[in-house]
Amino acid sequence: MDVVTTTRNANNRIDLFAECKFSNRKASLTTLNNLRRRVSYPRGGFNVRHCPISVSGFEDGSRSMPRRKALC
């Protein structure tokens, strides 16, 4: 994990987990799924966001994910 942050606004809380990929390969859905597996979900069912960041971009299939699994 490269970035972990919590944002609070009134009773709303968002936990963001980001990982930067510095490689010549584009990131894929596997990259996101690996990030999601490594995150321990906080108690209380808070709003968790997973954000892979890739200097080489993302494979085409990564952008067609459902909104609930958004990259960021």
Q: Tens of pLDDT along 17-60?
A: 898 989 898 888 888 888 888 887 666 667 888 888 888 888 87
For residue 56, what are the domain limits? 3-69
| pTM attached to this predicted model | 0.70
Number of domains in the chain: 1
Q: Which DSSP state fits 11?
A: T
Give the C-alpha separation, 35 to 44, whole Å: 20
Residue 5 CB contacts under 8 Å (≥ 6 apart), including other chains: 15, 16
- Distinct helix (H) and strand (E) counts, the chain: 1, 3
pLDDT given for residue 27 in this prediction: 86
pLDDT given for residue 71 in this prediction: 53
pLDDT given for residue 68 in this prediction: 41
